[in-house]
Amino acid sequence: MELDFERCYRAVDSRDQRFDGWFYTAVTSTGIYCRPSCPAMTPKRENVTFFPSAAAAQRAGFRACKRCRPDAAPGSPEWDVRADLVGRAMRLIGDGVVDREGVPGLASRLGYTERHLNRMLTAELGAGPLALARVQRAQTARILIETTDLGLAEIAFASGFGSVRQFNDTIQEVYAQAPGQLRERRPVRKAEAGTISIRLAYRSPLHIASLLDFLEQRALPGVEERSGTTYRRGLVLPHGSATVALTPADRWVSATLRLSDVRDLAPAVARCRRLFDLDADPDAVDATLGADVALRDAIKNEPGVRVPRAVDGFEMAVRAIVGQQVSVAGARTTLTRMIRAAGGFDGAPPTDGPGLGSGTALVGFPAARTVADLPDLAFGMPVARRETVRRLAEAVADGKIDLEPGADREESMARLMELPGIGAWTAGYVAMRAIGDPDVFLPTDLAVRRGAAALGLPSTPKALEQHAERWRPWRSYALIRLWRAS
């Protein structure tokens, strides 16, 4: 990633928050690195070096600024947009794959050799997969040190470090303080017993109403719920289950997590960021879409509309299939029946238990293998659609279809469309919400056509698709706006 010095320095001099996560500023006179919006005095030009990643800055011997906490900056929006090897690798590293499976596991998922993967990441980001994962481990450790009463040795292994010594050395190197010193100066803000409370930064603006409205309309009882400006849901994570409550605020989303295993903190955070599309660059999106006169007023009135994504690719694919040619309410009823049959809850969705303030115990969506093994009566849908869901579940469980954020988008969509009952609309919807493709367009969708007509756009599929070419590479965001207009 090439960084233009003048452009980067102007962003630092103006403390422009939009560039947080795009690059990092290292100051040679102090030995620290910061996010561009750091409130400290602007360093002299001759003392500044720019890096494309926090890992690259650390590799060059710089430590994280204690004031602006660059390790907690929003992620680069580039990794959401790019479908190449580096983009896929960054999404998987963010989900904690290196901590769980090592670099060999990451390379295997991507279909490349470790050597090639390391070479590509180092060329673009100044650091290989181990160094990039190390930054994430350090941030996870800092969060646990500052927000829990876990012992430091427990935190070391929960954060993915191989030993306490490695943990101590990394924290000292990254934050210029020992773990014990970080705990002594931890913020007053602390979660209730058994929970972890953190702030998830994003680039403003964020249109909160559109995000929460979309999720609420599709919420599955017992899995997710909205209460005011707080959205809660259950998660299934690599080491266990979790419940999360997300409340958007100015410049960050407050996240309160209850984890059955603290090793799942990093993947839980990654999935929450993905769900709310927090790494997006709303200015870039709105500038492109706003160049179209038909969308200009909508963008002026509702800046920062995001694409609500998914915490589980398989769940989103099942929702897309079940929702074909039925109402949202009908799909919700069918899916709730499936979850109950899969053992998610007995009888009606429960109303007691640890729901993070809601009084409701929330569960995650059942795993692909569990759904594949359900009896026919558990599906409550036409035979053809039931078989589509079952074949999808079997393919995902057997590793034949990858619907996670690091998936090859084109390959996954092609394999999805090989299944009977899955067409272009369903595959496109899954690509947008599960795999995070920012440039999906569904011109045959009835609600999209209604929204287009309401905005004075062509409403026939062919004409609308031609018009939408001017919205690339952000057609997924235009879709959300058309749905709202309908």
Catalytic residue set: 34, 445
In a 3-state reduction of DSSP, which class is residue 460?
coil
| 478 neighbors 295 (Cβ within 8 angstroms) | yes
Helix (H) or strand (E) holding 104: helix 97-110
Token pair for residue 9? 């320095």
DSSP at 149: -
Amino acid identity of 435?
Answer: I
- Nearest Cα to Cα of residue 128 among 158, 107, 100: 107
Question: C-alpha angle with apex 211: 146 to 468, nearest 5 degrees?
Answer: 130
Rounded to a whole number of angstroms, the distance between the first and last alpha carbons of the chain is 40
